Amino acid sequence: MIVKANPAGILGTGHCVPDQVWTNKDLEKMMDTSDEWIRSRTGIGARHVAPKGVNTSDLATKAGEEALKNAGIKAEDLNLIIVCTLTPDRALPSTACKVQANLHAVNAAAFDLEAACSGFAYGSIIASQFIENKMYKYILVIGAEILTRVVNWKDRSSCVLFGDGAGAAVIGPVPSGYGILGGAMGADGTGGDFLTIPASGVEMPPTDALRENGMAYAKMDGKEVYKFAVKAMPHAAELALKRSELTKKDIDVLVPHQANIRIIQSAAKRLHVPMEKVFVNIEKYANTSGASIPIALDEAVHAGMIHRGDIVCLDGFGAGLTWASLVMKWY
């Protein structure tokens, strides 16, 4: 196992999901689908839905507050806030700046990061670099999404897959031998159209007509994304393990992106990690993109699944196409 001179690790986690829940049975009343169809193909049973007036920054702020509380760190001690999201409140200002204002984190820089479902892993790896080189001491990394506003509710094949939520972690210095040991990030932009929102930027500004024909909402080629995911997740984890000077058999807990139970099972099998070591909560939340991994991580911690000294692997893939994994010795 690699030992770093100035290790960075997770000091506290938190999450927030809206109170409103739409079960698969609720969706049966809205469209031609069924609980059995959704569960058998995805493992999803429900998703949380943000009400009108609640925005990504609101969920992010609450998750951040919880992470700060659990870390025992004050907001004014933060040096940086990174919000990983594909559903920002606005194009300007960044959602991270809104969170900084909400938290009164007056000494923190702030920026958004967009790597879709890989975002939290990307953000955590980036944060660790600032801490390892001693530029910053405490960084708040948040994954937050309101995906139910960017899915096409007329497209039953994709709209059932997504939900809203936020998860957060405070990253800071930890004792030698602990913390983030290695990470891996990657991208393949040639697959960008496999998961995209065509009318969402300056290339094709959204209009009422484009919303009506579905171009302003998420479009996904499910088969291509699945083929990519089952290879990308184990590849990313294996590279992160190699850089940590560890092997697959060293993994105590795997916290994967919660996109599809079949993808999770396939990745675990390829990594030779038994499912009892894999944290899964997709049944309750569906795919929350950038919020998926930090929500799962926080729940795994509070469920008593992760203990000090455990080797924990976070592993994700997302639109871009992107992938990322990081390995840490839990402090």
pLDDT tens column, 220-241: 998 999 999 999 999 999 999 9
Confidence at residue 3, expressed as pLDDT on a 0 to 100 scale: 87
Considering the domain architecture, whether residues 293 and 164 belong to the same structural domain is answered as no
pLDDT tens sequence across 159-194: 999 999 999 999 999 999 999 999 999 999 999 999
Considering the domain architecture, whether residues 158 and 238 belong to the same structural domain is answered as no
Structure letter (DSSP) for residue 50: P
Please choose, from the candidates 155, 160, 163, 179, the residue with its C-alpha nearest in 3D space to the C-alpha of residue 8: 179
Considering the domain architecture, whether residues 317 and 218 belong to the same structural domain is answered as yes
Considering the domain architecture, whether residues 251 and 320 belong to the same structural domain is answered as yes
* Cα dihedral sign, 98-100-104-107: negative
The structural domain count of the chain equals 2
Considering the domain architecture, whether residues 142 and 211 belong to the same structural domain is answered as no
104 included as an active-site residue: no
Considering the domain architecture, whether residues 66 and 165 belong to the same structural domain is answered as yes
Please tell me which residue in 16, 235, 257, 313 is annotated as part of the active site. 257
Q: Taking 90 as the threshold, does the pLDDT of residue 266 lie above it? A: yes
- Rg of the chain (C-alpha set): 19
User: Would 2 be classed as within a structural domain?
Assistant: no
Structure letter (DSSP) for residue 109: E
Percent of the chain at pLDDT > 90 equals 97
Q: Taking 90 as the threshold, does the pLDDT of residue 317 lie above it? A: yes
**Domain-terminating residue out of 157, 176, 195:** 176
Please tell me which residue in 70, 159, 287, 313 is annotated as part of the active site. 287
Considering the domain architecture, whether residues 189 and 260 belong to the same structural domain is answered as yes
User: Would 189 be classed as within a structural domain?
Assistant: yes
pLDDT tens sequence across 3-20: 899 999 999 999 999 999
* C-alpha distances in Å from residue 225, one per residue of 268, 285, 310: 17, 20, 31
Q: Taking 90 as the threshold, does the pLDDT of residue 257 lie above it? A: yes
Percent of the chain at pLDDT > 70 equals 100
User: Would 1 be classed as within a structural domain?
Assistant: no
117 included as an active-site residue: yes
Question: What pTM, to 2 d.p., does this model score?
Answer: 0.96
Considering the domain architecture, whether residues 140 and 184 belong to the same structural domain is answered as no
Confidence at residue 161, expressed as pLDDT on a 0 to 100 scale: 96
**Domain-terminating residue out of 144, 160, 176:** 176
Range of the domain at 290: 180-329
CATH of the domain at 231: 3.40.47.10
Considering the domain architecture, whether residues 36 and 112 belong to the same structural domain is answered as yes
**Domain-terminating residue out of 141, 176, 211:** 176
15 included as an active-site residue: no
Please choose, from the candidates 315, 328, 18, 305, the residue with its C-alpha nearest in 3D space to the C-alpha of residue 145: 18
Considering the domain architecture, whether residues 116 and 200 belong to the same structural domain is answered as no
Q: Tell me, letter by letter, the H, E, C secondary structure of 225-278.
A: HHHHHHHHHHHHHHHHHHHCCCCHHHCCEEEECCCCHHHHHHHHHHCCCCHHHE
Could you tell me where the DSSP H helices lie in 72-144? 95-103, 119-132
Confidence at residue 156, expressed as pLDDT on a 0 to 100 scale: 87
Considering the domain architecture, whether residues 153 and 252 belong to the same structural domain is answered as no
* C-alpha distances in Å from residue 304, one per residue of 232, 253, 300, 301, 311: 28, 11, 6, 5, 14
Q: With beta carbons less than 8 A apart as the criterion, state whether 9 and 179 touch.
A: yes
- Bridge partners of 112, per DSSP, are 83
Please tell me which residue in 84, 117, 159, 313 is annotated as part of the active site. 117
User: Would 3 be classed as within a structural domain?
Assistant: no
Spatial strand order of the sheet with 80-84 comes to: 8-16, 164-173, 139-146, 80-84, 109-113
At residue 157 the predicted structure's pLDDT band, cuts being 50, 70 and 90, is confident
Residue 173 host element (H or E):
strand 164-173
User: Would 310 be classed as within a structural domain?
Assistant: yes
Kind of pairing between the strands at 164-173 and 311-318? unpaired
Considering the domain architecture, whether residues 130 and 206 belong to the same structural domain is answered as no
